[in-house]
Structure formats: C-alpha cells, structure tokens
Amino acid sequence: MPGINASSSNNVFVLQHNTAACFLSYTAPFLRKHEASSNIVLAHALKRVDAQTALSGFEFTSESDVYARFHSDDLESYTPRPTRGAFWLTVWSHSSPSSPPSLDIVLACVDWTLGDYPVFLWTPNRVSASSSAWLAPRVAELAAQLNCCVPPERVFSVFGLTSLVKAFARTWTHLTGFTVEPEPFYAALFSYCTTDTFRDSEAPLPDGHRLRKATAGDLEPVAQLCKEFADDSIFFPLSIERARVEARELISKGLLWVYDAAGDITTICAVTRNSHRVSAITKVYTTPRWRRRGCAEYLVREVTAQLLFSVGKESVVLYVGHENNAQRVYDRVGFAGLCGKDKPDAVEDSIELGFAGTDRGHW
C-alpha cells in the first residue's frame, strides 16, 4: 500500500507511515482510547489532515477497521526506506498467530515552522513498558527501523514516558554510536485537569488588568516573551527574529492568551495541541519583573476554565518540570498529582534525552 513500509522480527513488526492520514487510519481508535496521554502524537498528526477528515473520518474508525486493513494489505511489501519530512513508525506484536495485532509503541518524527521536533515516543501499555523483557525486542526493532529512515544526526533528542525513552536511548546509542548528553533536556510530570479537579478562585483581577486572546498588536511583546521562554530552556534558545515567527503563528491561529496589565503584556499561555476531547497547555511564561504577583495563575485558570467549560474539552493536559516552581500554580488550578501529592495512574513521569553531535531542532 502506498505510504507504508514494514519491517518485522519474530512476532514484533514495525509499520512506517509517510502521511498523517495513513498513520491515523491504523492508530486512530487506539489513540482515542488514550486521548490524553497520546496528545503529542495525536495532535501533531491531526494538524496534518483536513478538518473534515479529522472530525469525521478518523473519529469513526474502529479497531475492526484497522484489523481489516492488516488482512487486506501486503505486509511483505513494507520495507524500510529513507524518508524526508514527517513520518510515523508503529510497533505491533502478535500474542499468537491467530490473534489480532496489538499496537505497542508509536514514534513520531515531525517538524514545524521553526524546524524539526524531537522524536516523540508513546505507548498505550504503561505497565508493560516498565518491563525490560517487554521493551527490549520492541525497542530494538523500532531503533533499527528508524536508523533506516533518517540519518542519526536527525535524532537530536527523544521525548516520552521515562522508561520507554531510556530504553530507546540505550539501544540507539549502541546502534549508532551517538551518545546521550550528560543531563536530560527535560524531566517532567504529565498532568491533567478536568471539570472534577478544576479549582476556581474568587480573587479579583487588579483594576485595569485583563485576561484575553492575543491580537496582532501584541506581536512584539509576545515575541519577546517567547524568546525569554526559549532562552530559559538553555537547550533550545531563539533569536528575536525566530521568536517573532513563532509569536506571529501562535497569534494568527488563535492559540495564545495573554495577561494584559493595563497595556503591559506580562504573561503568555499557549494551547497548541488539540484533539476532539483534549487540549494541551504547551507554554506558560511570565517575564521576571512581573513574577510572584499571581499573573500565571490568573491566566492558566482562565484558559483552563474556557477549555473545559466553554469549549467542552474533557481534560486539559500539560507537562511541568520536576523542579519547576510552576507546579504550585498548576496545583492550585486543579492539575493532578503535583507538589508531592498522590499521583493518579494518568499522571506520568516523562523525560527528554538529547544526543551529542546531532543537528538540534526546536520545540
């Protein structure tokens, strides 16, 4: 079938999907079942298909539709090949010759306006992913396939569930010789807020302050905050010119909210990954001179409330660093499992590991 390649070893096999439509035709029902945790791979794929397809075509794809494709497609013809641009790899396995295949791991290798994203990994099998015996054959096959698709310099970092990323990084280093950077690029908790966990506040905004969507007139202050946010990350700095490109895109697509303190833009909050029932807050930043005044909490609470109660999302998700003081802000808004509190099953430990000597992109 055009757009798909496959490689297999014993009962584990890998499909290569060179279009988002192809990827979703195989994975949509499994991603929907885990729509919050799969947010990164699902939302990035949905951005690459038209609205009608996203809202109707894949929303009604069932697991039986996927299994029917396996019977109709010629898996023997799916061979690894070098690929330019975005693609996805899916790892499947059979528990027995007569059983339907199980989706075990998804790898997304995608890009955007400012360059390549990290390689994103996701699994619907969190419990299994804690077992080295389960991970080893799947990660080995996945790494081998990825190495056939792109030069190793493209894999500047890998982000996802901690156990999965660490296993992949060890295998990738052994396979390619590219070593892991001494410090993780990002070590974070994946958290969520729902209508049940959301916590409102009656604290009034100061006079003259507003929480609103960013407009074209906010371009320069928003670009400056995007640059400061990127520079804080150390690993992915931005020039003001590239920050302006990012700001213009976020504003034009209606994905950015601001805290407006009587004309002074103090804080930004971006929501750039969206699927049918889930939205992700992907950037929150307050310029240093306005910190410790509650700006971020006001803005995050407002954006989260709009997404849950006005837009009708079932959950709002985000990642927050293990040592990031922003955990306190998100906890007060109602995001689960933060600030040392008990972690529900859906709160995951995630990590981004970088590789030395590679061509670093941006996210």
Q: Count the Cβ atoms, other than its own, within 10 Å of residue 115.
A: 14
Mean residue pLDDT across the chain: 94
Q: Can you tell me the distance from the alpha carbon of 102 to that of 26, in angstroms, rounded to the nearest whole number?
A: 11
Q: Is 50 exceeded by the pLDDT of residue 1? A: no
Q: Is 90 exceeded by the pLDDT of residue 196? A: yes
Q: Can you tell me the distance from the alpha carbon of 171 to that of 147, in angstroms, rounded to the nearest whole number?
A: 11
Interstrand relation of 348-354 and 119-122 (parallel, antiparallel or unpaired) = unpaired
Q: Is 60 exceeded by the pLDDT of residue 273? A: yes
Global pTM reads: 0.95
Measured between alpha carbons, how far is residue 229 from residues 225, 244, 248 in Å?
6, 13, 16
Rounded to an integer, the average pLDDT of 96-113 is: 93
Confidence band for 79, pLDDT divided at 50, 70 and 90: low
Quick one: pLDDT at residue 88? 96
Q: Is 80 exceeded by the pLDDT of residue 80? A: no
Angle among Cα 239, 240, 243 to the nearest 5 degrees reads 90
Q: Can you tell me the distance from the alpha carbon of 155 to that of 29, in angstroms, rounded to the nearest whole number?
A: 28
Tokens of 310: 């006005």
Confidence band for 50, pLDDT divided at 50, 70 and 90: confident
Amino acid identity, position 174? H
Rounded to an integer, the average pLDDT of 105-117 is: 96
Q: Using alpha carbons, select from 63, 134, 278 the residue that is nearest to residue 192.
A: 278
Quick one: pLDDT at residue 10? 67
Q: Can you tell me the distance from the alpha carbon of 124 to that of 180, in angstroms, rounded to the nearest whole number?
A: 25
Q: Can you tell me the distance from the alpha carbon of 246 to that of 283, in angstroms, rounded to the nearest whole number?
A: 12
The answer to whether 328 and 300 are in contact (CB under 8 A) is no
Q: Is 90 exceeded by the pLDDT of residue 31? A: yes
3-state SS, residue 303 = helix
The answer to whether 129 and 348 are in contact (CB under 8 A) is no
Number of H helices, E strands in the chain: 10, 15
Q: Using alpha carbons, select from 141, 105, 116 the residue that is nearest to residue 31.
A: 105
pLDDT digits (tens, 9 = 90+) for 121-134: 999 999 999 999 99
pLDDT digits (tens, 9 = 90+) for 283-320: 999 999 999 999 999 999 999 999 999 999 999 999 99
Q: Is 80 exceeded by the pLDDT of residue 7? A: no
Q: Can you tell me the distance from the alpha carbon of 194 to that of 179, in angstroms, rounded to the nearest whole number?
A: 39
Does residue 94 or residue 315 have the better pLDDT? 315
Does residue 7 or residue 347 have the better pLDDT? 347
Quick one: pLDDT at residue 148? 95
The answer to whether 155 and 172 are in contact (CB under 8 A) is yes
